[in-house]
């Protein structure tokens, strides 16, 4: 992956004037605990409880990845004026110059356009700064909000590509947005 920002060592601050993406900080840890949605987490990962200790570890791991120049890039999602974290998102590197985008909003921040704004900031960063060729989101069939968000920002389903995330894990439907389609949508916006 040819990456103009491969050597960044901390999260940049990205904003559209309404939503801000920047790095997770130690004082976000209590919010990460408060935002934890056990039902959604269970569906995706495992049933480990979110504790303050685990949240601090997550924050430290995220900062360490930025420092190492990893292409796994996690951002805090914030709303200026609110002291609380609105959510987090991450871009996971994938082979063949792609990335997978995960977004997780705190329940009180959902359904207000924050996810769409945060996704668009992350997509602009992925395509412009990380030079990825495509970004995918992995949608669980019953996750209506996740699918709606993907379609709203321009992702298209990859037909016939349902996959299992891990052994006995849930099936997901991948949606993809290529850099060419992103640029065309931006030009028409």
Ligand X SMILES: CC(C)(COP(=O)(O)OP(=O)(O)OC[C@H]1O[C@@H](n2cnc3c(N)ncnc32)[C@H](O)[C@@H]1OP(=O)(O)O)[C@@H](O)C(=O)NCCC(=O)NCCS
Whole-angstrom Cα distance, residue 130 to residue 81?
A: 29
- The reply on whether position 38 binds ligand X by CB under 6 A is no
Whole-angstrom Cα distance, residue 153 to residue 19?
A: 16
Min separation Cβ 80 and ligand X, Å: 16
CB nearer to ligand X: pick between 60 and 148: 148
Query: Looking only at residues 106 through 125 of this chain, which bind ligand X when binding is defined by CB under 6 A?
Result: 110-116
- The reply on whether position 149 binds ligand X by CB under 6 A is yes
- The reply on whether position 62 binds ligand X by CB under 6 A is no
In this chain, which of 60, 64, 145, 184 binds ligand X, going by CB under 6 A?
Answer: 145
Structure tokens at 98: 């792609």
In this chain, which of 71, 99, 143, 173 binds ligand X, going by CB under 6 A?
Answer: 143
- The reply on whether position 105 binds ligand X by CB under 6 A is yes
CB nearer to ligand X: pick between 113 and 141: 113
Q: Is 157 exposed, middle or buried (0-12, 13-18, 19+ CB in 10 A)?
A: middle
- The reply on whether position 18 binds ligand X by CB under 6 A is no
Catalog residues that contact ligand X under the rule CB under 6 A. 40, 87, 102-105, 110-116, 137, 143-146, 148-149, 152
């Amino acid at each position: 992956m040819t990456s103009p920002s491969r050597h960044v060592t901390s999260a940049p601050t990205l904003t559209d004037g309404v939503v801000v993406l920047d790095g997770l900080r130690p004082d976000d840890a209590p919010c990460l605990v408060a935002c934890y949605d056990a039902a959604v987490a269970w569906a995706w990962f495992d049933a480990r409880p979110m504790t303050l200790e685990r949240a601090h570890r997550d924050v430290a791991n995220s900062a360490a990845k930025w420092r190492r120049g990893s292409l796994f890039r996690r951002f805090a999602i914030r709303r200026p004026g609110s002291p609380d974290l609105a959510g987090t998102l991450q871009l996971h590197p994938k082979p063949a110059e792609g990335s997978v985008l995960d977004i997780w909003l705190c329940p009180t921040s959902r359904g207000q356009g924050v996810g769409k704004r945060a996704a668009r900031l992350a997509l602009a960063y992925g395509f412009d700064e990380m030079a990825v060729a495509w970004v995918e989101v992995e949608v669980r069939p019953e996750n209506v909000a996740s699918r709606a968000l993907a379609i709203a920002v321009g992702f298209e389903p990859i037909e016939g590509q349902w996959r299992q995330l891990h052994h006995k894990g849930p099936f997901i439907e991948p949606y993809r947005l290529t850099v060419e389609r992103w640029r065309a949508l931006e030009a028409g916006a």
